[in-house]
């Protein structure tokens, strides 16, 4: 009987959940927002619907961590820090160093910071969270759980780009993939719902939120995924372009007068996707509303969005030479029933058939949305990256 904290640190945020292990029951959860800015928001949810919220200035992650731990005691969620046996940190980029979750030491932390060039918006923030906890609770088990590690099982056929091989050998230029912890969780859960050993399954997982990725999971292992060297590749997303012809970049830079390649990449990351196509929003709910109102840009953006998801799913059926189940997860995947229907209604040739009524009534909850006659099972499974982090802490902390 021990308690574990799962941490997801952003550049100005700290999201967390406190688990009772091995039961995996959530004791408390919360988020600290606007760290380093004025009017930081500090929120804890616990007990039977109880909530603590405070607005104040929080200068850095270490202060946020200290406040979090102090409030766990003040609110009598824990009696002392000794009850916390371990902390698990989500880290976005593990590069080629980390093929699995690892216990954190000075060398691991140094490598996480070194890998910031692969995830400049994420790894530095992840490292800040790690440093804060190590300083305040130096003796507890500390584990790094990498978004990329689940995809370390991809064969070279699928992770190498068709560029000079020396770029991979010298600079580790390759596909890494992301959202791995989510893809791992929902594929394992799908195998349970299928009633088959994970090692005997072929599952396509669609993690679709503001960012999105599709993964082919064969025998419980990632064999291909849509995101690439960075999270920019693959699907059309909320603000990210997804796949484009690289030669388009210098052409657009010449036409627009953009001089810096980083500025152009920023456009592809933050001003493209459905936001760029419509000028309305990066939120799929707003795009769906616009389409319902007859906005032609919204209708087209929705078609493009679903088309890219559908193409990757079809591609990965070929990669695995078949599929047992398709899983939708994350914000859009769990809640946007029109997106799920649009993606799958043109895949009937594969024997995929969804129950439209069940699909329309499934939002944010686990359900099978395929019909009894469908040759491929289709599930909606809410993702739970935090519980996977807690499990890895328990596994490595033994």
For residue 341, say if its preceding peptide bond is cis, omega within 30 degrees of 0. Answer: no
d(CA 87, CA 141): 6
d(CA 15, CA 12): 10
| CA-based nearest residue to 93, from 71, 75, 115, 65 | 115
Helix (H) or strand (E) segment spanning residue 61:
helix 61-74
d(CA 164, CA 167): 6
Longest Cα–Cα distance in the chain: 63
d(CA 397, CA 390): 10
| CA-based nearest residue to 47, from 68, 26, 67, 66 | 26
Residue positions in the annotated binding site for substrate? Answer: 90
Q: Catalytic: 224?
A: no
Q: State CA 201 to chain mean position distance.
A: 22
> Which residue spans within the chain are E strands per DSSP?
2-9, 13-21, 25-33, 40-46, 50-56, 84-91, 102-103, 141-146, 202-208, 212-218, 221-225, 325-329, 367-368, 377-380
Residue positions in the annotated binding site? Answer: 8, 15, 90, 207-211, 283-285, 331-335, 385
Task: Determine which one of 57, 100, 105, 147 is catalytic.
Answer: 147
d(CA 32, CA 35): 7
- Just list the catalytic residues: 147
């Amino acid at each position: 009987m021990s308690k574990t904290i799962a941490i997801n640190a952003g550049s100005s945020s700290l999201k967390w959940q406190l688990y009772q292990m091995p039961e995996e029951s959530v004791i408390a959860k919360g988020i600290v927002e606007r760290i380093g800015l004025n009017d930081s928001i500090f929120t804890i949810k616990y007990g039977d619907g109880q909530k603590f919220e405070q607005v104040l200035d929080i200068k850095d992650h270490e202060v946020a961590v200290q406040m979090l731990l102090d409030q766990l005691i003040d609110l009598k969620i824990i009696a002392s820090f000794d009850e916390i046996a371990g902390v698990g940190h989500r880290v976005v980029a593990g590069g080629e160093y980390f093929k699995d979750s690892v216990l954190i030491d000075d060398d691991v932390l140094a490598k996480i910071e070194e890998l910031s060039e692969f995830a400049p918006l994420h790894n530095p923030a992840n490292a800040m969270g790690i440093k804060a906890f190590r300083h305040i609770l130096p003796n507890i088990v500390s584990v790094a759980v990498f978004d990329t590690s689940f995809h370390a099982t991809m064969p070279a056929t699928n992770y190498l780009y068709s560029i000079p091989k020396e770029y991979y050998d010298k600079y580790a230029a390759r596909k890494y993939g992301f959202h791995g912890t989510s893809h791992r969780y929902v594929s394992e859960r799908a195998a349970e719902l299928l009633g088959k050993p994970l090692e005997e399954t072929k599952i396509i997982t669609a993690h679709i939120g503001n960012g999105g990725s599709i993964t082919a999971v064969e025998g419980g292992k990632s064999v291909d995924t849509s995101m690439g060297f960075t999270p920019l590749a693959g699907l059309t997303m909320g603000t990210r372009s997804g796949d484009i012809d690289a030669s388009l970049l210098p052409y657009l830079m010449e036409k627009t007068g953009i001089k810096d390649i980083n500025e152009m990449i920023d456009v592809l990351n933050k001003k493209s996707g459905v936001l760029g196509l419509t000028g309305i929003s990066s939120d799929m709910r707003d795009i769906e509303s616009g389409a319902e109102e007859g906005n032609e840009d919204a209708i087209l953006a929705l078609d493009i969005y679903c088309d890219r998801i559908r193409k990757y799913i079809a591609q990965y059926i070929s990669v695995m030479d078949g599929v047992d189940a398709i899983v939708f997860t994350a914000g859009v995947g769990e809640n946007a029933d029109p997106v799920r229907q649009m993606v799958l209604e043109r895949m009937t040739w594969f024997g995929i058939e969804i129950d439209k009524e069940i699909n329309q009534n499934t939002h944010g909850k686990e359900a099978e949305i395929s019909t009894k006659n469908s040759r491929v099972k289709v599930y909606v499974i809410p993702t739970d990256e935090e519980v996977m982090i807690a499990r890895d802490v328990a596994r490595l902390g033994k």
